[in-house]
Amino acid sequence: MALMKAVSLERYGNVDVLQYGDTLRPTPGAGEVLIRAQATSVNPFDCAVRAGYVTGYYNYNFPLILGLDVAGTVVECGTGVTKFAPGDLVYARTDPSRNGAYAEYVLACAEEAAASPKLVEPVQAAAIPHVALTAWAMVETADLRPGQTVLIHGAAGGVGHLAVQFAKMRGARVIGTASVQNQDFLRTIGVDVPVDYTTTPFESVASNVDAVFDTIGGETQQRSWPLLKPGGILLSIVQPPSQEIAETYGVRQQFAGAGMAGGEQLAKFAAMVDAGQLKVTVSKVLPLSEAQRAHMLVEGRHMRGKLVLEIAQ
């Protein structure tokens, strides 16, 4: 059987469990496409899986290949696939419950994939799917409207910097928190009120907001409840918000996620990118073999935009 290079793990643990080497090349089943990957991105979700933090949600088998995002070329289609053909350039957010995209060849359900944006390279395309789907879900759930105000924590991060852009597309006013080195970046992506959380308590700037997008959790989430107007909503992607606390403040809450099979929405994102309406920031590109280093950087929680792993052709 054919082999491929991949990064896999045999057990949960720190970055040392990530091993680069040979593994079997997968074969597409019904409704699936096999993608020759050119790039994948590293999401905090990958780090959480590696550390064993999501075992309550997914029952993985080892060896496990991590990675949600992929951009590359279709090389083989399973039975029943009419949407794509070999040679098509695609990008996808793969099913998080099975082997993923830290590999030369990646399986994806046809419904998870879409034609890649035409005006960006695979390195940029691979940075989009998971964070864009997550940010879009937050904006949709909050039902942001013109004139409303949203407070976005971690606004320079992967999900945050796209949530800012989607919120601005909806006509919302955006207050965004980030460290001092990212204040100018926040302005370039449309944040109306940038807040340096290292020097300025965000409570001194934000009040009576319609929505809070929490990408940080912990104390940041707890301090955000009083800032919502009655009926407002706190959405978190890192820590399920308390229904009890929400009721105390007369607001709503939800634990947000990217959902499944987002190919149709990815096609819309690709159109936004090609129209110049949506820009993804890639702050670091490493080879696939340096996945350990990539996880260390992402776990440092100070990445601007996304970190991408490039896969040699």
pLDDT values of the chain reduced to their tens digit, one per residue, 313 residues: 799 999 999 999 999 999 999 999 999 999 999 999 999 999 999 999 999 999 988 999 999 999 999 999 999 999 999 999 999 999 999 999 999 999 999 999 999 999 999 999 999 999 999 999 999 999 999 999 999 999 999 999 999 999 999 999 999 999 999 999 999 999 999 999 999 999 999 999 999 999 999 999 999 999 999 999 999 999 999 999 999 999 999 999 999 887 777 899 999 999 999 999 999 999 999 999 999 999 999 998 778 999 999 998 7
Query: Do the Cβ atoms of 115 and 77 come closer than 8 Å?
Result: no
In whole angstroms, give the CA distance from residue 155 to residue 160.
4
In whole angstroms, give the CA distance from residue 233 to residue 222.
13
In whole angstroms, give the CA distance from residue 50 to residue 17.
8
pLDDT digits (tens, 9 = 90+) for 171-218: 999 999 999 999 999 999 999 999 999 999 999 999 999 999 999 999
In whole angstroms, give the CA distance from residue 103 to residue 67.
9
What's the pLDDT at 77? 98
Query: Do the Cβ atoms of 142 and 150 come closer than 8 Å?
Result: yes
Query: Do the Cβ atoms of 42 and 307 come closer than 8 Å?
Result: yes
| Most distant pair of Cα atoms in the chain: their distance | 62
pLDDT digits (tens, 9 = 90+) for 222-266: 999 999 999 999 999 999 999 999 999 999 999 988 777 789 999
Residues 6+ apart with CB under 8 A from 155: 161, 163, 164, 174, 176, 177, 178, 182, 186, 189, 191, 194
Domains of the chain in sequence order: 3-128+280-310 (3.90.180.10), 131-255 (3.40.50.720)
What's the pLDDT at 302? 76
| Model pTM above 0.85 | yes
Pick the closest to residue 292 from 304, 309, 311, 306 (CA basis). Answer: 309
CA dist list (Å): 290 to 48, 165, 306, 307, 310: 18, 30, 15, 12, 10
> Across the chain, what does the average pLDDT equal?
96
